[in-house]
Amino acid sequence: MRTATRLQKHLAVAIFKGSLPKVIVVAVLLAIGASPQLLAQRAECGTANCAATVKVVDSKPTEKPNQIVTTETPDVVQVQTSRPPKQVEKPSEFERYVEESLGYALPLFGRKLFADPPSTFAPLTEVPAPAEYVIGPGDELVIRGWGQVQIEARVTVDRSGQVFLPKVGAISVAGVHYADLRRHLQASVQRVFHDFELEVSLGQLRSMQIFVVGQARQAGTYTVSSLSTAVTAAFATGGPSPQGSLRKIEVRRGGATITTLDLYEFLLKGDKSHDVALLPGDVIYIPPVGQMVAISGSVNTPGIYELLPGTTLSDAVELAGGLTATADDERVSVERIEEHRTRRVFEVAPSVAEPRFVLENGDVVRVLAISKVIEDAVTLRGNVARPGRYRWHPRMRIQDLIPNREFLLTPEYWSHKNALVREGVGESKNAEERTLTELKQNAPPLNWEYAAVERSDPERLNSEVLPFNLGGAIDGDSEANLLLKAGDVVTIFSERDIQVSNAKRTKLVRLEGEFAAPGVYRAEPGETLRALVGRVGLTPDSYLFGAEFTRESTRMQQQQGLDRLISEMENGIQEIHTQRADANDGAAVQEREAQEARRGLVARVKSLRASGRIVLALPPAAHDVREIPEIVLEDGDRFVVPHTPATVSVTGEVFNQGAFLFNRNLKVRDYLRDAGGGTRNADASRIFVLRADGTVVSRQHEGGRFDGLPVYAGDTIISPVRLEKGNFMRGLRDWSQVISQFALGAAAIKVLE
């Protein structure tokens, strides 16, 4: 392999000296991995006149320095088969040591800027030249003149430092600053012509070779732009390796060191005062890394830093961006390796005790954060308006922290109250539609019987909980109004946080419909529906028989039963599908249609929701509050009393669905007759009446007496569709039972239709 590489280098030199025929040139270029662009370039310029620099970059990743073959001409030819892949650098020994010491890794400061390898080593060509740029051999000048003489030329400075202009001759330009170039050329042309204007700009700038050696990430020979400086070259060539120094990069010229770069000055302060413009043949030497320390904890830029000799702890903290707002400037831990044998820990204060504490190689610095303990404060939290920390003072009690009950009203309460004012008198619709849950969220019920003080004992390192009666403490009860200590945490609970007894629980009940003052009412402990309705009062047009009383706990139970029914229906569909899978073609088509109908029915049943209605079993003629049963109210109960209806509804499989005027003398058969009787799809044996009070009366249970049953105002007579027999309909053929059991009410009628 080494012999092949040496052969490639000798062949490349011979090629670009023009000592080989063109056919051999092309063959050898292909052999050493030249690109098609390079082949085209050589074909255009020939073999004898195009001297250039060739860089051969193997497509396989390698850790060897870049191998470059050069001639004395400034032209650049690059041969690169692929971009070198990004290599993941292994952490250095000190990085691993820091991770073992701290429990987490720290980055090497500044290395992220050199993390990505350069995509190309070609010199920059589009960078504008500064005014102090010195013209030299290889620079291209673009010259335009008009007037007595017409000039349009792109000329290159030759090795003697001259350019040649037709009708003018040779003009020496080497060593002229770009800012003076126009005047210099104009003076030369004026020796031949007069009355003209001249403009000049730079075209392709010359390139040059430099060397990057030492502890570099990619050491080797590079062709760079003549505008390059030491800093730009350091970045363009990949910078130092993890073992290389960022603080003592040397630029050597002619055997002497002309400048030493400290990239920390540039990265932290933007200082480029020691940067220099590079010249051909310059060497950038990256020495081994110097003294390394790790700075962690409460600093703005934790990391591993390279320090100059004599750097103090305060200086190192400044390198790391200084202390954070939560840093304890009197507690800094320094872990040190002594005599390359043992490890020792110091505690120093960089700002007070030992500002001149000098760090040593391998130190691991931890800047500790301030204590989380808040002095002379008590904390109020929980269901309160303004939770937070409050200043503690001697003899402070609960009543000093919570002076009155309004102090516990949350901001949501006042926002809700202000919103009601903004809505105005004539915009109460939204308020009526609010659920009890929303109202309770705006005014969450407090647990007046129980609150707690959490107190920590710093000597025993334990804590205790002191319960107290919140209402008593605010009212000044000496037993409940506890004496507070610094550091106490007072927690106020709501009834949702800790469940209180049913008698003491806040209960909001909604009364709607024919009430003297419908709205949301707070039920007293143990208060019944009869007592609350009596307290509010009914209107003369109230229809107690059709009143609807719903409860959330009941609704949840009913919904669970409905969900089980839906599951049985889905299982029934699957059983029927399995049983009839082998049907012939004609039967299969009918079965698919029937299966779709079954799935549609299940989908409609899924849309139903249990109402949570509780049947009160009031007599049809009920009109007195004393006839309402004594039901103890629960939070969230809803009682709707409609006005007395004037109609009876007939729906389902009848010819004339609709509402008919109520007549106390008409029976079930009469209303069915008025509706035109049942259709051919009607299941006459399962007709039922959904009473206004939520009860169900069916022909299946009443038998022959069903047709002569009385009908009351607000009742609905339902003629269900005839349903197929089989497992799918198990428990479903009696729709009256389904509607009654799950309190589906009128919502289920749409499903039947």
Q: Provide the pLDDT for residue 236.
A: 83
Q: How much is the pLDDT for 411? A: 64
Nearest-angstrom CA–CA distance, 575 and 577 = 5
Residue ranges matching CATH 3.10.560.10 in the chain = 117-123+207-286, 556-611+645-752
Q: Could you give the C-alpha distances from 297 to 332, 345, 362, 389, 683, in angstroms and in order? A: 9, 15, 17, 27, 81
Q: Across all residues in the chain, what is the average pLDDT?
A: 79
**Any idea what the Cα angle at residue 275 is, between residues 269 and 278, rounded to 5°?**
155
Superfamily grouping for domain 556-611+645-752: Outer membrane lipoprotein wza domain like (3.10.560.10)
Spatial CA neighbour of 632 closest among 506, 523, 543: 523
- Is the pLDDT at 60 greater than 50? The verdict is no
Lowest mean pLDDT among 3-12, 279-288, 462-471: 3-12
Retrieve residue 163's tokens.
């350019």
Mean pLDDT over 52-76 rounds to 37
Q: Residue 545: is its pLDDT beyond 90?
A: yes
β 303-307/364-369 pair status: unpaired
Per-residue pLDDT of 521-531, as tens digits, reads 888 888 999 99
| Short-list 645, 622, 746, CA closest to 696 | 746
The answer on pLDDT for 213 being more than 90 is: yes
Task: Determine the pLDDT at residue 581.
Answer: 66
Q: How many alpha carbons fall within 13 Å on the CB side of residue 110?
A: 25
Q: What is the mean pLDDT of residues 613-619?
A: 91
Of residues 354 and 559, more confidently modeled: 559
Res 299: pLDDT:
93
Mean pLDDT, range 185-198, rounded to an integer: 90
Of residues 121, 24, 12, the one with CA closest to residue 69 = 12
Per-residue pLDDT band for 600 (boundaries 50, 70, 90) equals: confident
- Residue 36's SS3 state is helix
- Exposure string over 265-276, b if 16+ CB within 10 A, otherwise e: ebeeeeeeebbe
Report in angstroms the alpha-carbon separations of 167 from 142, 148, 155, 164, 190: 17, 12, 14, 9, 12
Domain 140-202, CATH class in plain words:
alpha beta
Q: Are 618 and 687 within 8 A, CB to CB?
A: no
How large is the average pLDDT for residues 517-546? 92
Instruction: For CATH 3.30.1950.10, list the domain ranges present in the chain.
Output: 140-202
Q: Which residue has the tokens 């409050």?
A: 390
Q: Per mean pLDDT, which range of 18-32, 55-69, 79-93, 252-266 is the poorest?
A: 55-69
Residues whose CB is less than 8 angstroms from the CB of residue 481 and which lie 6 or more positions away in sequence, other chains included? 397, 398, 399, 468, 472, 473
**Interval 575-593: pLDDT, tens:** 777 776 666 666 777 777 7
Select the CATH number that applies to the domain covering 117-123+207-286 from these four: 3.10.560.10, 3.40.1180.10, 3.40.50.620, 3.40.640.10.
Answer: 3.10.560.10
Most confident region among 26-40, 62-76, 456-470, 477-491 by mean pLDDT: 477-491
Render pLDDT for 646-680 as a digit per residue (tens, 0 to 9).
Answer: 999 998 889 999 999 999 999 999 999 999 999 99
Q: How far apart are CA 421 and CA 114, in angstroms?
A: 63
Res. 42 pLDDT band, cuts 50 70 90: very low
The predicted model gives 615-639 an average pLDDT of 92
Length of the chain: 753
Helix (H, G, I), strand (E, B) or coil at 405: helix
- What does the pLDDT average to over 284-311? 94
- CA dihedral (594, 599, 604, 609) positive or negative: positive
The structure tokens 């701290």 sit at 102
Q: Does residue 703 contact residue 675 with C-beta atoms inside 8 Å? A: no
**Tokens encoding 355:** 């500002």
pTM: 0.52
DSSP class of residue 516 equals S
**Residue 608 pLDDT:** 78
- Do β-strands 327-338 and 342-348 pair in parallel, antiparallel, or remain unpaired? antiparallel
Confidence of residue 413 (pLDDT cuts 50, 70, 90): low
What secondary structure, in 3-state letters, does 344-397 show? EEEEECCCCCCCCCECCCCCEEEEEECCCCCCCEEEEEECCCCCEEEECCCCCE
Which pair of tokens denotes residue 690? 């959904």
Q: Which of 43-52, 228-237, 413-422, 652-661 has the lowest mean pLDDT?
A: 43-52
Q: Which of 36, 539, 108, 67 is nearest to 289 (CA)?
A: 108
Average pLDDT of span 235-241: 86
- 743 closest CA partner among 702, 700, 691: 691
pLDDT of the residue at 83? 44
- pLDDT tens per residue, range 497-515: 766 666 666 688 999 999 9
Identify the pLDDT of residue 559: 86
